[in-house]
Chains A and B, each alone.
Chain A
Amino acid sequence: MIPGLDSAPLISFSFVSTLDPDLEDAQLTRLVRQAWRHNVGAGLTGRMVIRGREIRQTIEGGLEAVLPLASRILGDGRHFRIRVTCFGPIEARQHEDWRVLGLEAPGALGEQGPSASAGLLRPEFVCTDAAAAVVRLERAAAGGAA
């Protein structure tokens, strides 16, 4: 429960999708940055996990915030092979904040990441701060990251 945010029915929307392979790294950067800004600003919590061009997301929050976002994602032609894994009411949030994971993987921007069946991300793949992750991604996209 997040005080001040959770007076409306809570919804969770989780999915796995493959991003358009023609999506350039800079576009991916913008996508992640826009998602982060929007979700934090809208009081949404959850996770975005990126492995290569595969994205796993769990978005949770009030009905009035989750549903418009879910409709945009489902209608976004940059997502392919969307596998909806959860979509419905929840009693309480499972995440306290919005985080992006997987962006620190070397080569993750332009190469195929670990397969979906590879299990949990290795610790070095985990970024615990979404803002820092976006900065790193932007640097990598600009060719400035090691």
Chain B
Amino acid sequence: MEKVPGAAAPAKGGARAKLIRLVYLSMRTRDLTAEDVDQIEGRSEANNLAAGITGLLIAQGQYFYGVMEGPRRPVMQRMEVVITDDRHMGLRILREEEIVARRFANWSFARLPDETTTRSFGMPLPGSFILELSRRLA
């Protein structure tokens, strides 16, 4: 979860490039191994770093939840990659909006224990973190 170089600098494509924020939710298509998730983390960081995209990606249980911020074109290009990634299904764009300034200063990845793990401790969550966060951001 290192700082994304360039994230604090003017957006790629020029300081006047319009910024957008995409909020999305998807479900994994299969059980992912730790190596699969490692790969997703590594690639998302490298690709978003190169594209000047900030935000976060959260993997929790069967869900992926992402927030991408950056110039429209690279964000849309990255979104196309996610949409066509066969590890995702049922992808929903929860929000697409133009923004004046980035909310996130870096790109980060979080791997959270799923609700099944939580329930095993006898403390069910009122709703998954991802869905809760999507309500607040979207």
Q: List the one stretch of B28-36, B78-86, B115-123 in contact with chain A.
A: B115-123
Known: A9-B118, A88-B110. A83 touches B105 (CB 8 A): yes
Contacts of A64 in B (CB 8 A): 118, 123, 125
Residues of chain A in range 65-104 having any CB-CB distance to chain B below 8 Å? 67-68, 70-72, 74-75, 79-89
Tell me whether B102 is interfacial, beta carbon within 8 Å: yes
Residues of chain B in range 80-127 having any CB-CB distance to chain A below 8 Å? 101-106, 108, 110-113, 117-118, 121, 123, 125
Tell me whether B3 is interfacial, beta carbon within 8 Å: yes
Contacts of A70 in B (CB 8 A): 129, 133
Is the beta-carbon distance between A83 and B3 smaller than 8 angstroms? yes
Is the beta-carbon distance between A63 and B113 smaller than 8 angstroms? yes
Q: For A84, give its contact among B108, B117, B129 (CB under 8 Å).
A: B108
Tell me whether B132 is interfacial, beta carbon within 8 Å: yes
Q: For B113, give its contact among A68, A74, A84, A89 (CB under 8 Å).
A: A89
Known: A71-B136, A72-B136, A84-B56. A8 touches B123 (CB 8 A): yes
Smallest CB gap from A74: residue in B: B133
Known: A8-B118, A64-B118. A81 touches B110 (CB 8 A): no
Contacts of B56 in A (CB 8 A): 74, 84, 87
How far, in Å, is B123 (CB) from chain A's closest CB? 5
- How many residues of chain A have a CB within 8 Å of chain B? 26
Tell me whether A11 is interfacial, beta carbon within 8 Å: yes
Tell me whether A117 is interfacial, beta carbon within 8 Å: no
Is the beta-carbon distance between B117 and A9 smaller than 8 angstroms? yes
A101 to B133, CA, bound (A): 28
A32 to B136, CA, bound (A): 21
- 12 further A-B contacts with Cβ under 8 Å, apart from A11-B112, A75-B137, are A16-B105, A63-B123, A64-B118, A70-B129, A74-B133, A81-B8, A81-B104, A83-B3, A84-B56, A85-B1, A87-B112, A88-B112
What are 28 sample pairs from A and B whose C-beta atoms fall under 8 A apart?
A7-B121, A8-B118, A8-B123, A9-B121, A16-B105, A63-B112, A63-B113, A63-B125, A67-B112, A67-B125, A68-B129, A70-B133, A71-B133, A74-B136, A75-B137, A79-B103, A81-B102, A81-B105, A82-B104, A82-B105, A83-B105, A84-B1, A84-B110, A85-B108, A87-B1, A87-B58, A87-B112, A89-B111
